[in-house]
Structure 1
C-alpha cells in the first residue's frame, strides 16, 4: 500500500485552492520503461508517482478527481510527460520550460543556441517531428514568486512568435520549373519535417535521414506540393530521384478520388473498429491486432535496412534454433523421447511425432 497526497503548486493558475495534482507515494511505484542497460542496473529508486490527475481530498479522506494537470501533452497520439522532457533537456545542459502550444510542443529555453540544434535534440527526446516543435530562446526563464517556473508566462512568450509557415506558402509543382528547384524543394521538406541541422545531400532519402511513420504523412503531403503525385516506395528514393520523378498531378489532385496508402486506410479502419467495440456498437474484434501489425510493418519499413533483416534472422537461428536442435538431438539419442520432426523444429509444419 501507499499514501495519496496533493501538490497544490502544480495546479494551473486560477484553479480552486483545494485542488492539486494527485501524487501517490509507496514501495510499489513502477519505474517506467528501461531504455538502456544502465536503467536496469539502477535498482528501485522511485517511490513517488505524479499521476497528472487533478483532485481534492475532503474531510473524510475521500479523493475526488476533477481533471487533468497541464503537465502532459497529447501530440500526434503521443502522450508526453513535459516534466520528464524538461529533466532530459537539463541532462543535456538546457534550462527549459516545456508547454503544449496550439497543438505543438512549445519549448522556452534560457540559452543562446541555434534553433536547429536544439530542435533536433527536442525532436529526438520527445519522439515528435521537428515541425511539431516551436522554440523561443530567452535570457532567463519566467518564474513565480515562489521560484517555480511560470508556465503561463512561458506560453505567452511563445504566442509572440510568428505562426508556422506551412501549407499556403509551399510552392506548387508548376512554380518549380527546373529540376534543381525541385531538388531544393525536396531538401527543404526533409530538413523541416525531419529536423536535420545539415543540408540533406542529393543521395539522402527519407529513411536514411531517420524518417519514420510519425513523420511519413506530413512529409508525403508536403512533397506532393513539390513534385506532384508521389511514386511508390518514395521513402526509399534519394533527393535526386524524387526531384526527377515529377508527375502530372493536376488531373489526379482535382479528382474526387485521391489515392490513399493502404497502411493509412487500415489504421483508420482499425481505430474505428476499436472505438465501436468499446462503446458496444459492434462485435468486430481484431482492431488492436491490426494496429500492432501495422507498427511492426512500419518498424521494418523505416528502421530496418534490407541487409539488417537477413542478418538478424540468421543471428537468431544461430543463437536459438541451432542450439535447441542440437540439444533435442542429444536427448533423442539418449532417451528416444523426441522424434525427427521435433529435432528439426518442424512440429508446427508437419505435426507432432
Structure 2
C-alpha cells in the first residue's frame, strides 16, 4: 500500500523528467539493474516503475529500514520504495553502530547494497510512522524525530504553495537528502511534478555549475555556509538565465548578508527567500516573502500556509512588555514526537504543539523576529548565560564566535580574532575572566547541514584539540604572505599552478598522510579537519608529477648521451595541457583565469629570459631572439642552439594563446557549458597541424615548433575526460595520430605510453622514497631543462656524472628561486594587489580598499585592531 501521496502521484506526471543525475543508475539497491555511467534523465513514469519494483521486492510486511542516503538515484528509489511498501525509514548519512544498537533495523541499506536482516519486523511500528530523522543534522544521533506521512505531505504542500513550485521548476540538490531541509526540496518538487538535479557536487566545483546550466536549473537551497562558498567563487558575477529563486535556511544569516543577496537577486532577476524551520516541524515553519527581505532582513517572516505562531512568556522571565517570549508553532507538520529507543517507534502522537526554544517578537508589520534561543542557556558559577545573546554581542564587537560550555567554563570559539576577546566575553556574560576559555579557530566547526557543531566547539577546550596549519604550508609552497591566506581559500584560488603543485602536494601528503583527489579545490579549513590517514604502502603520486620526473631524466640523459630515449618532451607538452586545464580552466571568472595563467607564464619566461641574457655576457651561445623566447618565430633556425629552448618557447605560446582564447566571453560560455566537448573541439582544430604544416616550417622542424600544439590540446582533453567513454575517445585519438608523426617507432611508442597513462591513471602508489625523489625532480624540472645545456658539457665523457650534475643544478636553482620568492613575497604581493585593484571600475576606491585590507590582515596577525 502506498502511504505517501508524493509516491502515489508519480504516475500522474507520465513522461515529464523527474530526475537528472550523473551518478550510476542503480534502479534498485536490492536487485540492481546494469549500471550506466554519464548524465541520465529519468521520467516520472520510469521513476514510478523503479519505486514500485523496489516496494514489491521489500514485500508487504512493514519493517524498519535504515538508509544511508546519498544524493543519487539509488537512494531516492530506496527511500520512496520503502515508504511505498509501508515501511518506516530511518534516514541518516551513515548507519552507525550506535544507531544499529539502539534501533535494531530490519533492513540496512548502505552504499547501494541492502542487508535484509529479517523478513518480518522485530518491532511494533505505529501505522502512521513514516520517517525518522536526527534532531541535530549530525551523523548517527540516537535521538530521532518521528514524522508521519501526513507531516511530510503537509509540509511539502505548504512549501510548494509559497514558493509557487510548478512542473517547469528544476531544483539542484545542494544539501544532503538525510537533512530535513534537503529532503524537503525533494518532497516539494516531486509533489508538483517538477524536476530534481540530483548531485553531490559542491557549489565550489566547476561541474556543479556546468550541470546547473546544462539542465537549466531554476533553484537551489543554501545554508549560511553555502553563502560563504558562493562569495568565494564569484557567484555575483555568474550568469544563470534560468535561476528563479534561492532559498536560505539552516541557521541565521546576518541581516547585512540577507540584504546583500536580496539586492543581488533583484538585480539579476531571481528571488532570495529566507526560511525558518526545525526537523521537529518536518522542515519549514516560516518564510520571509522575497519582496520584504531588503527591508526586514532580520526577520523570519510569516508562518507557512496551514501553520500559526504564538508568543508565550517564559515562566522565569519576570513581568513587563519587554520580557522575552518563546515562539510556539502549531500546524499539521508538527512531528509525532521524539524517539530514543526502538520501543518508542510504537507510539502515536505525543506532541501537539512545537515549543521551538527560540525567543521571538512580532514586529508592527506582522513579521516574526527571532531574538534569542531559550535552549542555549548555560549555568556557570550559578549564573544563567544566554549563549545566543552572547554570540550576538561578540559579533557586534567585531568577533565571529560560537559559544558553548563544559559545565565549568564558557567555551568561545573565535574565527581569526583581531584581538583577545576574553574580557569582552566575560563582560557580556557577567562572568569572571577565569571562567572563559577562548579557542581561536581558522574555520568554525560545522555539521553536515552547515550549522555550528557545538559539541565539537565544546571539545576545543580539551588539551588534545589541535589543528594543522595548512596556511603556513601553502604560504611556504606558494611564496605567499600567510596573513593573506583565508581559511576558505583553495590551492587554485591562491594561484596554484603546475609549477607549485608538486611542492604543495608533497608537503600536504606528509602532513595529512593521504591526500583527497580534489585537494586543489578543497578549502584550507576542510584540509585541516581531515583526519590523518597513513597507508602501509608508500604514497600516492600524481601521474603528471611522475611523468615530469621521468621526462626530465630521459631528456637530460638522452642529451648527454647516456642513453637514447626520445619523446619525453612531447609527453610533457601533454602534461602541460593537462595541468593548464586543471589549474587555469576553473570556475573562477575569466579575468581571474587570465591573471593566474600570466603568473604561471611569468614563472617560466622570466627565469628563462634571465638565464639566457646572463649567458650572453660570457659568449654567443644564444641570441637575443632566445632572450625574448621568440626563436621559433623570428629565427635564426640554422643556429646550433636554435632548438635548445624550443620546449619552453612553445609552452609559453600555448599557455598565453589558450588563456586569451577562454577570456573571450562566447568561448568562455561554451567551455563552461561543455568542458570535454570544448577540449575535443580544440583537438579537432589543432590536429590539422599533425598532417599539414602549410609551409611554415620544414618537415624536420614541425614536431619541435608551435605546430605541435595538438599535444597540448590532447592533454587538455585528458584532464576534462571524466567518464570511461570520454577517456576511450581521447585514447583512441592518441593511438590514431601519434604513429607516423616522427617516423621513429620507439619515440612514438614512448609518447603514446606517457599520454595514455595521463588519460587513464590519475595517480600511482609508489614507495615513499620514490615519491619523494619524483617530487623533487618534477619540482626542479624547469631549471634542470634550462641549465643542463651549460652543465653537462663540463663533464666530457663522464655521462652519469653529467646527468646527476644537471639534475642537481636544477634542484639547487629551484631552491634558490623559491627562497627569493619567499623573501620577496610580501613586497610582490603588495604590488600584485595594487595592480589588481587598478583592474576594473572605480580603481581609486578599489586601491584604497586593497591597501586597507593589507593593513587589517597584518595588524590582525600582530594582535592589533584597526579602528
TM-score bracket, shorter-length normalisation: 0.3 to 0.5
Give the number of the structure whose alpha-carbon radius of gyration is greater: 2
Superposition TM-score, scaled by structure 2 size: 0.15
